[in-house]
């Protein structure tokens, strides 16, 4: 089965490692960690992830700024991003807080919940992609 590529960006190395180890136990994901936010753009272009998990508050560059750079980069613009954050409450998360179209997950998040979110985001993306490619091809006819 085709493994999905997940890029995890967080300045907390222990956290990115735990996420990687946990996601790898599912055998469904290939995970790359990035602990230095300013390097994350380069890493993303190189790794070509299917989905990005990232922290909001990081030294050097925060998650919001990083996300807008990805959006601005044609190569990375379509990659779904899930924010992992300590600044929202569980209830806000339960209510599906989104900001600028991004999904937010509160820390600490359990593996089960995390995998669900990743899968939802990926399938939504796939859906959208299909629709878009249809749309792209139709006018060409």
Partner 1 sequence: MNESSTTSPVKDAPQSIRVLLIEDSPPDALLIRGLLATGFTVTHVTDLGTGITAAHAPFDIVLLDLFLPDSRGLDTFTQFHSLHPELPILVMSGLDDEHFAESAVSDGAQDYLVKGQMDEVLLRRAVRYAMERKRVERALRDSEAFYQSLVESLPQYIYRKDAQGHFTFANRRFCVELGRTFQEIVGHTDYDFFPAELAAKYQADDQRVMAAGKVFEAVEEHTPPGGEKEYVQVVKSPVFDAQGKIIGTQGIFWDVTARVRGEEKLKKAHTDLARSREDLLRTLADLQRSHSRFKEAQQQMVEMEKMQTVGQMAAGIAHEVKNPLAVIRMGMDYLTNAIDTAGNEAVGTVLKDMQDALHRADGIIMGLLDFSAPGKVDLRPWDLNSLLRSSLNLVKHELKTAQVTVETDFCENLPPVLADTNKIKQVFVNALSNAIHAMPEGGRLTVRTYIKKLTPEEAKPSPGARQTHAFRAGERVLVTEIDDTGTGIPDDKLARVFEPFFTTKSTGKGTGLGLTVSRKIVELHEGTIQLQNLSPTGARATITLRTEKN
Binding site for partner 1 (CB under 8 A): 12, 14-15, 18-19, 21-22, 25, 57, 84, 86-91, 106-112
- CB 16, min distance to partner 1, A: 9
| Pairing assessment for the beta strands 98-99 and 102-106 based on DSSP bridges | antiparallel
- CB 127, min distance to partner 1, A: 28
Nearer to partner 1, 49 or 85 (CB): 85
3-state secondary structure of 98: strand
The residue among 85, 32, 82 whose CA lies nearest residue 57 is: 85
Nearer to partner 1, 73 or 92 (CB): 92
Hey, what are 112's tokens? 């089960």
- CB 94, min distance to partner 1, A: 9
Is residue 55 within 8 A of residue 84, CB to CB? The reply is yes
Nearer to partner 1, 63 or 106 (CB): 106
Nearer to partner 1, 18 or 122 (CB): 18
| Pairing assessment for the beta strands 98-99 and 81-85 based on DSSP bridges | unpaired
DSSP 13-42: HHHHHHHHHHHHHTTSEEEEEE--GGGHHH
- CB 121, min distance to partner 1, A: 18
């Amino acid at each position: 089965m085709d493994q999905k590529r997940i890029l995890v960006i967080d300045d907390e190395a222990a956290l990115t490692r735990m996420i990687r180890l946990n996601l790898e136990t599912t055998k469904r994901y290939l995970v790359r960690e990035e602990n230095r936010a300013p390097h994350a753009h380069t890493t993303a272009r190189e790794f070509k992830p299917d989905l990005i998990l990232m922290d909001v508050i990081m030294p050097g560059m925060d998650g919001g700024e990083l996300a807008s750079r990805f959006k601005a980069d044609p190569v990375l613009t379509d990659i779904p991003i899930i924010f992992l954050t300590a600044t929202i409450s569980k209830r806000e998360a339960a209510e599906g807080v989104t900001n600028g179209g991004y999904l937010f997950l509160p820390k600490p998040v359990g593996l089960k919940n995390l995998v669900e979110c990743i899968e939802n985001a990926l399938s939504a993306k796939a859906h959208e992609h299909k629709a878009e490619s249809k749309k792209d091809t139709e006018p060409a006819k």
